[in-house]
């Protein structure tokens, strides 16, 4: 079957939105169920409206589009009749003007992944994300929603994100940086660094680099950077650590280079254990003892500030049993906090 145009002036090449319609119609014609001209028109209009174009109002426009595809690609579009209904599809089930090697299930899965890219929208240097999402939806006839269905816990007002793209590009292109860095409660200092890795933790971004001043790997919070510029130092390749395993023995991002993991024993209230059991403090978490009133667990990690914060956040529901050095650290912080609220001396 060959569809003929109803009007010579309504060809795809003469319409600004023709390329979008062509992609959508191609996707419809690849479906073995087939689509009616009305169904294709609805599919086209959903994508056209997303791009800010006026929707198609006449099925003849779709018929002309199909005819244009047939003529330009020498492909046969066949009719599927069901009562008075007529649907259309490619006779060759393997044909596509874009040779898209994905089935409907794969497109649906990929569209979910593309939607997750939206978390980067608004991040400096990631303006291309919206272009990819738009291109994917128009090319693959991916399902779209006017409302977001995935949410991420992001800090939109976080300082330092203007440096994200520069750091990312320096990592990829293996370029050294000179950063003016201002740690908390310290004077600002200049570092020459060789950046290797970016990581997000607790709604903050950090990058890891070889620090020439310390001759070691350091992490830098983006929100503490005052300025950065290219460095004339020759870039050092990363032969210091493997970032695929670097974080295995810590919680968070803070790590002392030569410190070994420690077995930490914790006593958790029965009520709080249900939460910790479903959301472990660390992947090494092991149950040692379990009663009706409490559970004793162990984790094998390098103690750091982030671990202290997690334990203190659980309040009276958790107690550090050992090692003594770490227990004393937590105990000392609790005593100082107690003084602020009750203004009493604690031995």
Architecture of domain 262-342: 2-Layer Sandwich (3.30)
Query: Which pLDDT belongs to residue 105?
Result: 66
Beta-carbon contacts of residue 119 (< 8 Å; ≥ 6 apart): 150, 152, 154
Stated pTM of the model:
0.63
In the chain, residues under CATH classification 3.30.70 are: 262-342
Query: Which pLDDT belongs to residue 209?
Result: 97
Rounded Cα distance between 274 and 26, Å, is: 52
Beta-carbon contacts of residue 86 (< 8 Å; ≥ 6 apart): 36, 37, 79, 80
* Of 203, 118, 126, 125, nearest in space to 159 by CA: 203
Predicted confidence (pLDDT) per residue in 141-167, tens digit:
555 555 666 676 767 677 888 899 899
Candidates 2.30.30, 1.10.3470, 3.40.50, 1.20.120; CATH matching 161-230: 2.30.30
Q: Which two tokens stand for residue 311?
A: 């334990």
How large is the angle between the packed helices 104-116 and 128-140, nearest 10 degrees?
Answer: 160
Q: Are 337 and 308 in contact (CB under 8 A)?
A: no
In the chain, residues under CATH classification 1.10.10.10 are: 12-90
Q: Which residues of the chain have pLDDT under 50?
A: 5-14
CATH topology of domain 12-90: Arc Repressor Mutant, subunit A (1.10.10)
In the chain, residues under CATH classification 2.30.30 are: 161-230
Query: Which pLDDT belongs to residue 11?
Result: 43
């Amino acid at each position: 079957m060959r569809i003929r145009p109803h009007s010579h002036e309504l060809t795809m090449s003469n319409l600004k939105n023709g390329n979008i319609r062509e992609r959508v119609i191609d996707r419809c014609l690849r479906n073995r169920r087939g689509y009616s001209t009305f169904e294709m028109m609805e599919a086209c209009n959903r994508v056209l409206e997303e791009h800010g174009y006026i929707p198609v109002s006449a099925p003849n426009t779709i018929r002309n589009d199909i005819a244009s595809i047939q003529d330009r690609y020498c492909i046969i579009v066949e009719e599927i009749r069901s009562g008075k209904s007529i649907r259309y599809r490619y006779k060759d089930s393997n044909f596509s003007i874009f040779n898209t090697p994905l089935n409907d299930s794969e497109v649906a899965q990929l569209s979910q992944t593309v939607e997750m890219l939206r978390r980067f929208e608004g991040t400096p240097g990631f303006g291309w994300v919206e272009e990819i999402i738009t291109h994917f939806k128009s090319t693959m006839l991916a399902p779209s929603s006017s409302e977001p269905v995935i949410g991420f816990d992001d800090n939109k007002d976080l300082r330092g994100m203007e440096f994200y793209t520069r750091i990312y590009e320096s990592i990829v292109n293996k370029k050294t940086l000179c950063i003016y860095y201002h740690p908390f409660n310290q004077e600002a200092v200049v570092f020459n660094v060789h950046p290797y890795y970016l990581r997000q933790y607790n709604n903050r971004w950090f990058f890891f680099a070889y620090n020439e001043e310390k001759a070691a790997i350091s992490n830098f919070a983006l929100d503490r950077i005052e300025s950065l510029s290219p460095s004339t130092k020759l870039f050092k390749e990363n032969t210091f650590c493997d970032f695929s395993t670097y974080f295995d023995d810590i919680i968070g991002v803070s790590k002392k280079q030569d410190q070994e993991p420690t077995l930490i024993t914790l006593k958790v209230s029965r009520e709080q254990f249900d939460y910790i059991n479903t959301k472990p403090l660390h992947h090494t978490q092991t149950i040692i003892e379990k009663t009706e009133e409490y559970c004793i667990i162990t984790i094998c990690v390098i103690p750091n500030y982030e671990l202290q914060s997690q334990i203190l956040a659980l309040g009276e529901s958790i107690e550090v049993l050992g090692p003594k050095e770490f227990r004393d650290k937590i105990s000392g912080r609790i005593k100082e906090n107690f003084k602020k609220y009750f203004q009493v001396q604690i031995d």
